[in-house]
Amino acid sequence: MNIEPVAFAALAGVAVATAVLALLVRELVHTILWIAVFFVALAGIYFLLAAPFLGVLQLGVYAGAVTILLLFGVMVTRKRIFSREAATGIGPVPLALAFFTVVLLAAAATVLPTHEVPVRAYAVTDLSTTLFGTDGAWLLLLGLTMLAALAGAIYLVREGRE
Amino acid sequence: MTALPPAYFLALSVLLLGVGVFGILTRRNFILLLIAIEIAINAAILNFVAFGAFSGTSAGLTGQSIAVVLVGLAATEVAVGLAIVLALNRLRGSINVSEATSLRF
């Protein structure tokens, strides 16, 4: 008995269900807790794809840092943390679009190839060679972007700005 | 070694992208909007990793590298987004994006 299709089905089901739930529940805090589960499920899928470094990164950055950051955002922008959102009804057009998309996907899934392809696993050292090999240009670029973004964020929230 | 049809991962990615776009189009709360964008970005990252993993060449390493950079960029985007949320909350007293109209003429 091969466990991988079962694991994929479970993780994918949890991921889609929690993504939908996160956007539909009324309490904003519940939304963030659901989205944390979504990030953990996606990390599991990265492990299935033989990308353990990315899985750990997903757990640390998304399930850890982004979730806490979003909770902080909820904490400082409302008086009562568990207050509900005003009911926002979903119009018929988005529902029809969603239904149409699912039907289209189901039709497309019948023509997709279903033969199994082995996933190639890479050593983490090879990944780090790719990331840092070209004088670390990728990470340098990312670091500069983050520096600029954080400077902009501090500018946005600083005191006495009207 | 894992052996699964690549189509599984692509179908999951399309579904997640659909959920993210649905959220972006229908939610009016800024934090919910950020979360919907995160879901869509995660669908894109999953695509990079899946295509790389099934390519069988060293393109998988490039895919994972792009995914690492994208995870960092998405985290940065949340930080800037929350700064905008705080500024909007101080300016308007609410984080409803429909009330952020000061740039409209």
CATH code matching the domain that covers A1-83+96-120, chosen among 1.20.120.1200, 1.20.120.1730, 1.20.1630.10, 3.10.129.10:
1.20.120.1200
Contact predicate B79/B88, CB 8 Å: no
Distance between B104 CA and the closest CA of chain A, angstroms: 17
Instruction: Rank A6-10, A41-45, B91-95 by mean pLDDT and report only the highest.
Output: A41-45
Q: Which domain holds residue B50?
A: 7-96
Residue B62 domain flag: yes
Residue B92 domain flag: yes
The ipTM estimated for the assembled molecules is 0.90
Contact predicate B36/B24, CB 8 Å: yes
Task: Enumerate the residues of chain A whose CB falls inside 8 A of the CB of residue B78.
Answer: 66, 69-70
> In the prediction, which pLDDT does A68 show?
92
Residue B101 domain flag: no
Task: Enumerate the residues of chain A whose CB falls inside 8 A of the CB of residue B27.
Answer: 23, 88
Put simply, whether A153 touches B (Cβ < 8 Å) is: yes
Residue B69 domain flag: yes
Of chain A, the percentage scoring pLDDT greater than 70 comes to 87
Q: State yes or no: pLDDT of A161 exceeds 60.
A: no
Residue ranges with strand state E in chain A = 117-118
Query: Based on the structure, what is the number of domains in chain B?
Result: 1
pLDDT category at B5 given cuts 50, 70, 90 is confident
pLDDT tens readout for residues A142-154? 899 999 999 999 9
pLDDT tens readout for residues A60-82? 999 999 999 999 888 887 766 66
B16 against A27, higher pLDDT = B16
Give me the sign of the Cα torsion angle A33, A35, A38, A43: negative
Residue B67 domain flag: yes
pTM: 0.87
Residue B25 domain flag: yes
Put simply, whether A116 touches B (Cβ < 8 Å) is: yes
Tell me the domain boundaries of chain A.
1-83+96-120, 122-162
Q: Beta-carbon neighbour count of residue B96 at 10 Å? A: 15
Q: What CATH number should be reported for the domain holding residue B30?
A: 1.10.287.3510
Note whether A157 contacts B83, CB cutoff 8 Å: yes
Choose from B42, B55, B80 for mutation: most chain A CBs within 10 A: B42
Distance between A130 CA and the closest CA of chain B, angstroms: 7
